[in-house]
Amino acid sequence: MTRELDLPALAVLLAPQEGGLPLTALAAEAAAGGATMIHLRAHWLPEPELITLTQELVMAVEGRAAVIINGDLPAADLADGIHLPERLGPEAITAARASRPEPLLVGRSVHSPDAAAASLGADYLFAGHIHATASHPGEEPIGISGLRRIIAVAPVPVVAIGGITPDRVAEVIAAGAAGVAVISYVTTAADPRAATARLRQALDAAWNDRSIGSTAMDNEPAIAVVRITVNGKHVEVGAGWSVHDFLASKRMSDGMAIVERNGLIVPRGEYGATLLAEGDVLEVVHAVGGG
């Protein structure tokens, strides 16, 4: 089975749960409401059980959405794609493809621009979590700025995940996301189909606004640049770039460079979080031979 990635993406993540609707029913409702991807997170199930569940999901969505299995597992052969966690590293992307004769969608979760930039060969990325979310209690969200930084370096479409509700769709699409992914907003809804449809509506509206915005100016997609001064020279960098992104674009690791931005030293641990703004003046130095 070959699938294209439908954009804008609306992914609904399912996991075996106590009570509520069976997963097959949830998947069917989400697909009917306009989901383009149904992710199944159930890698802990015994293999035969996971395979059966995958088959049931594929039948339930009736081709309206891609069924994606979390983890490089045999069950994925019966589905439309595989979703990989960041901790497996980018090489897992190639490995997932190499072991299968049929082309599959391969996605990966990322939490940093570094991980995003390294995700060559993936079809899409999940970036998050954008807002505080019940599925990651106590973890610091990356926010819209973190999402922008990931999108600036990501080689493939980026889907925003984490605390997404219909109200929060427009801002992530405006930031350059190619879709949204949700868990509880749909799985805990009294009417999962209606909840998915609300997301779909917000997503389509935001997506159209984005397209109109760019075509009204120019037929070419707008490439935003930020003009800064580095070591006394004028330089243009991408919108949303951080100090780290600039160094990486010069094939420089953070470790060797010392950066002063507008007269203030940027602590080494904050290169990724320090975004470059129009008119910034950077001094970027390193150690050289001296007496």
Partner 1 sequence: MADTLTIAGRTFSSRLFLGSGKYRTREEMRDAIAASGTEVVTVALRRIDFDDPASRSILEDIDTSKVAILPNTAGCATAEEAIRIARMARAMGLGDWVKLEVIPDARYLLPDPVGTFEAAKVLVDEGFAVLPYIGADPALAVRLQEIGTATIMPLGSPIGSGQGLINRAALRIIVEQATVPVVVDAGIGVPSDAAQAMELGADACLVNTAIAKATDPALMGEAIAEGVRAGRKAFLAGRMPVLPYASASSPVTGIVGVN
Element (H, E) at 257: none
Element (H, E) at 30: helix 23-33
Phi, psi of 82, rounded to the nearest 5 degrees: -125, 140
Per-residue interface string for the shown chain with partner 1, residues 195-234, x marking contact by CB under 8 A:
-----------------------------------xxx--
Among residues 47 and 260, whose Cβ is nearest to partner 1? 260
Among residues 137 and 289, whose Cβ is nearest to partner 1? 289
Q: Is 155 in the site for partner 1 (CB under 8 A)?
A: no
Q: How far is the CB of 227 from partner 1 (least distance, A)?
A: 16
Q: How far is the CB of 283 from partner 1 (least distance, A)?
A: 7
| The two structure tokens encoding residue 166 | 């219909």
Q: How far is the CB of 153 from partner 1 (least distance, A)?
A: 18
Q: What amino acid occupies position 245? A: D
67, β-bridge pairs? 38
Q: Is 1 in the site for partner 1 (CB under 8 A)?
A: no
Q: How far is the CB of 235 from partner 1 (least distance, A)?
A: 8
Among residues 76 and 259, whose Cβ is nearest to partner 1? 259
DSSP, res 202: H
Q: How far is the CB of 225 from partner 1 (least distance, A)?
A: 17
Q: Is 87 in the site for partner 1 (CB under 8 A)?
A: no
Q: Is 289 in the site for partner 1 (CB under 8 A)?
A: yes
Q: 3-class DSSP state for residue 230?
A: strand
Q: How far is the CB of 287 from partner 1 (least distance, A)?
A: 4
Q: How far is the CB of 73 from partner 1 (least distance, A)?
A: 42
Q: How many residues bind partner 1 (CB under 8 A)?
A: 24
Where in 245-274 is the site for partner 1 (CB under 8 A)? 250-252, 256-260, 265-268
d(CA 75, CA 73): 5
Q: Strands 233-238 and 225-230, how do they pair?
A: antiparallel
d(CA 12, CA 253): 37
Q: How far is the CB of 273 from partner 1 (least distance, A)?
A: 16
Among residues 46 and 289, whose Cβ is nearest to partner 1? 289
DSSP, res 164: -
Among residues 137 and 290, whose Cβ is nearest to partner 1? 290
Q: Per CB under 8 A, which region of 66-74, 171-179, 213-221, 278-286 contacts partner 1?
A: 278-286
Distances (CA, A) of 142 to 137, 194, 201, 280: 13, 28, 25, 23
Among residues 100 and 250, whose Cβ is nearest to partner 1? 250
d(CA 281, CA 260): 8
Query: Cβ distance 40 to 68 under 8 Å?
Result: yes
Four-residue CA torsion sign, 221, 151, 71, 200 = negative
Q: Is 288 in the site for partner 1 (CB under 8 A)?
A: yes
Q: Where are the alpha helices (DSSP H) in 112-231?
A: 113-117, 143-153, 169-174, 184-187, 192-217
Among residues 25 and 265, whose Cβ is nearest to partner 1? 265
Q: Which chain residues interact with partner 1 by CB under 8 A?
A: 230-232, 250-252, 256-260, 265-268, 283-291
